[in-house]
Structure 1
Amino acid sequence: MPEARLARFALLPELEMTDFRQIPGGATQIDAHKTSEMEVCPRCASPSRTGYDHRYVTVKDEPMRHNPVVLRIKKRRFYCKPCRKPFTEPISGISKGRRFTERFRRAILWACERFSDMKAVRDHFQCSYGFIYKSLYDLLKTQLKHNIHSWPVKIGIDEHRFGKDSKTGATRFATFFVSHSRNKRAFEIVEGRSKEELMALVAHIKGRDAVRIVTMDMSGPYRSFTKTMFPNATIICDKFHVLRLLTPAINRCRKEITGDRRSLKVRRLLLRNGCDLEFKIKSELHKWLANHPKLRDIYLAKEAMHRLYRTHGYNKARNAFKKLLDELGTSPWDELKTLRRTLLSWQNEILAYFKNKYTNARVEGFNNVAKTIIKRGYGYQSFENYRLRVLRACC
């Protein structure tokens, strides 16, 4: 009875256990053979019942209770009369020429995602680093082949640093494409961020004319790429990146007054949304700003941008945006003049938010996942391996 339960749990389909025992090294060896009476010739697909020889094959299987498992399988050789050639019976779950089962490879994939390092995986499965890497990335590549789809209707685009080129020392960037529709997961990740690089790497994906909405940060190359690649799409500039346009200017002006001390309370008050401050604190802040006209004007412009995004409706937002541009046009400060030029350049993309209400928050979240994968792997030299790991975690 225990042998029957062990056979049902441990053996592959169509195999019958004949013996099991412990072998030197602590592994469990299970002897088995295939129970079918007839096999099909792999060349001509003719059935064959003529067996004339056999051989024993030893393959690794998934460990049980942290103990290695070895299958010793008796494989029969058949003779195909139409072909007049011999063949060896196949075993379901073991690829041709392999000395391990497919569930052994799947167990390695599971361990690579949960163990802290590859050494722990190697010690647990008692195999080489080369076998672990090859099994891991071959299986990831096979699984991701089933995830190839056409472009989703709504996507988000963002980039993050991937590493540095070992020869030139130049920073390498990766561009994320995330679906805002369908399954709301990562769609693709490619190396590079220029228009020419992106066009070459994603040109093979079908359905680009069906894309209707694209969210992004305030990146000129991404905007140029989107207009060429997705001609029917509406570009939406991410709300967060618009609101933080004045953050560097506020910090510079504040440092000229208070010095570079991040622990100062006024630093946090200047960067927070004014609606989140209590009345007393807000009054004290405005009294302090009255002594510093430049910082006060920049702070009020930042608050005006927050008020813009609290506006409901496209027409009201467009009027508020024009009013903001008029106020910035009368300012004597260079920082606010630069802000006005930037807002004018991205006017259509900023106002498109008030029609569709999409942001790049989901893309930023997947960017954090990708950066965590880089930290856990202590960096990646191969972008293809990095891409497989990221898509596995985010798809």
Structure 2
Amino acid sequence: MEALNVISVIALVLTMFYVVVISSFIRGWKALKPFQYQQHQPLHVSIIIAARDEAANIEKTIKDLLAQDYEKAFLEIIFIDDHSTDNTAEIIRTYEAQGITLIQLKQSNTLNSYKKKAIETAIGNARGELIITTDADCRMGPNWLKTIVSYYQQGGYKMISSPVVYFEEQSRFERAQSLEFLFLIGMGASTIGNNKPSTCNGANLAYERQAFYEVGGFKGIDDLASGDDELLLHKMAEKYCNKIGFLKNHDAIVYTQAKPTLREFIQQRKRWASKSTRYKNKSIIVLGILVWLFNLSIVLNLLAGIILLLFGSAQAELLQAMTNTMDTAKISGGQQLLYLALLQFCIKFLIEFLFLKKVTHFARRPKLMQFLPLLNILHIIYLIYIGIAGNSGKYSWKGRMVR
């Protein structure tokens, strides 16, 4: 029983830690004041999109970018074709007369991060004072660009993270992804609200061209396939600690699609998790490990409780048959672990409900909350797996094996 008491104390400490973490997210999200567009001054902007094998999606993205309510003389749109094997480049080229610039990446040496090389190449050719990156399968409304520029000019930021939301889901699996993704977007936003930036999404990211060079660009992080967003954010935050903003405005949302299959979803999340050990701020790594341990403790308590309960029941029946007595110590020990796992899960569900209720309201997707009970269960298993798999080797992305 003494060992069970130690396990219980550790589990409860991890649970309280998790409550503190999510509570800080709630505070950080609340600290971010909604931004209302008023006006903007003309500013030279370069929108950069790295594309590989996006023939099925890229035309919609191009049309959305061309439809921006922004002064055309101050807007530059650059696509970098990253060795596509389909007709992505040909589709882009048909829009050159409308002001679209195409750069074709010609990299003879094998790289681990072609995307960083593509973005870096485009920035080297860009004329804009403000660089904005998005993805070749994203959609945005006509007020997207001017809202970002207005926020940049009013706040004097060096880097701006803006919201990304899934849309046009075709299945329950994709809708569940939408809720999980909103958790990640809300988490990144809240850390910026707490002035401790930790994560962002390159599908909707803006930064000063000069600031990019002042922090050394992707130097030091260019050996990793992922991290053109988060790792750059950390470099920016280290130099410009109070000049990182999150644009809390619905017009600033960029929309993209969830992964249709479990395999694609896992590969994407492994890619995202692969950069976690490269964070310069070690406190973020420690926080991530403790969150991982909290989720692991729920599973271990559940499994140990079931095993102990079954083993204890069998042993108790044998002892009762032999001695006509009943030893319930192991049964009560199993029950204790099961109750502990249930308590941890309920607390996790409640605190995440309070956080996600606010984030889904901002995204105008409150109906996604119906997936929270099931997602909460699956999320525990997913986090444990991704925490290991994302930092344990190579994975496939865009037809390439990277790490």
TM-score by length of 2: 0.22
Q: Which has the larger radius of gyration?
A: 1
Greater share of residues in helix:
2
Between structures 1 and 2, the one with greater strand share: 1
